[in-house]
Chains A and B, each alone.
Chain A
């Protein structure tokens, strides 16, 4: 290691592996979400060698502590340590995990720390492992993610007039503007006051709320994705058809 790279060394940083690609003959290129440094690309040299101890540690959806060095676009992994405490995601929960990662990979810039979002991601993986209603878990995460990216949703007040949203009234959600009273115009996404208030409270127990909030979040996330497709959605749709 050179003196310069030693200076750029990070020690025992809490992180999750969002995705990994084979790299060169025996290495892995990791897409990492770290608590203090945000999303990073890190090369794990030799991680694909048959007896590499890194293999069982660099697993997705598992908290790890990573040490790396180097600056610039791709860092080099020095060591990785298993943290444990997160059950393996299985079945539908695993598919939901991929959805979270695909959102993060597509919407989170590099080298931008998002500590709150990191903690929320970690808590969300716990919820996926322990709770049965994944839809509510995903809606909460989507809302948090948009908020962290600077697109906080104001759902309990009308944009402009600042009038509080009423449960029994009908509204439209206009992208990059907010909630407006439904006066028969065609723009925006139609949504009930009840759904808006339930989303504010993160309560998705009502089936109609669950349905409308899913559609609204889909519209909003698609807007921020700017045409990029989420493949996990396709996969989940295919699964539901079976």
Chain B
């Protein structure tokens, strides 16, 4: 039995996260019925991205070049290295315009219950990076239990190499009011309160 092109397309679309058979069918019909031009653009964009986008040899973020634009920039501070879980986190920090140092993107986080340990995260690349360019490391992994575990692991690893390590602070949203904040955030903010010196 041969599989039709249409079946093939629907099966291929299911590699996307959160796409089940129904959504795959809906997407395939949409592309073929309503947007052939979009379909061809998508095909060509996928082809180019999948064969040309690699990981930057310095920050591990996606890059078409051996060293990405951000890492190649001469206007960044090489003395600081901010470690984030995902490329989207890097973009958020860049948008906040609060940081002029370098980055390292883990492309994940430790999650023992998913079988993701230190080996799966390829932390040896980060170690090599820090050894080649000594710097202060700022851990900006998420404030989830997995993000905290990742930060703990990295702090232990990097401190054993004599690296200065800090963790970004968690807190209440700027301009936010206490009554609108979830209990977990509020509890942590009270716990990690700071003494005011006048």
Q: Say yes or no: is B182 at the interface (Cβ < 8 Å to chain A).
A: yes
Contact across chains for A57 and B113 when beta carbons are under 8 A apart: no
Contact across chains for A235 and B182 when beta carbons are under 8 A apart: no
- Which residues of B from 108 to 135 have beta carbons under 8 Å from A? 110, 112-118
- Which residues of B from 128 to 157 have beta carbons under 8 Å from A? 144-145, 148-149, 152-153, 156-157
Distance A21 CA – B144 CA, assembled complex (angstroms) = 12
Q: Say yes or no: is A234 at the interface (Cβ < 8 Å to chain B).
A: yes
Contact across chains for B145 and A60 when beta carbons are under 8 A apart: yes
Q: Which residues of A contact B149 (CB under 8 A)?
A: 94-95, 98, 235
Contact across chains for A234 and B145 when beta carbons are under 8 A apart: no
Size bracket of the B interface: 20 to 34
Size bracket of the A interface: 35 or more
Q: Say yes or no: is A239 at the interface (Cβ < 8 Å to chain B).
A: yes
Give me 24 A-to-B residue pairs in the complex whose CB atoms sit less than 8 angstroms apart, sorted by A's number: A18-B113, A22-B17, A56-B184, A56-B185, A57-B183, A57-B184, A59-B144, A60-B144, A62-B184, A82-B182, A84-B183, A87-B191, A88-B191, A90-B152, A99-B112, A231-B114, A231-B115, A231-B116, A231-B117, A232-B113, A235-B110, A235-B112, A235-B118, A242-B156
Contact across chains for A98 and B113 when beta carbons are under 8 A apart: yes
**B residues adjacent to A (C-beta < 8 A):** 17-18, 110, 112-118, 144-145, 148-149, 152-153, 156-157, 160, 181-185, 187-188, 191
Distance A61 CA – B187 CA, assembled complex (angstroms) = 14
Distance A18 CA – B181 CA, assembled complex (angstroms) = 24
Q: Which residues of A contact B118 (CB under 8 A)?
A: 235, 238
Q: Which residues of B contact A82 (CB under 8 A)?
A: 182-184, 187
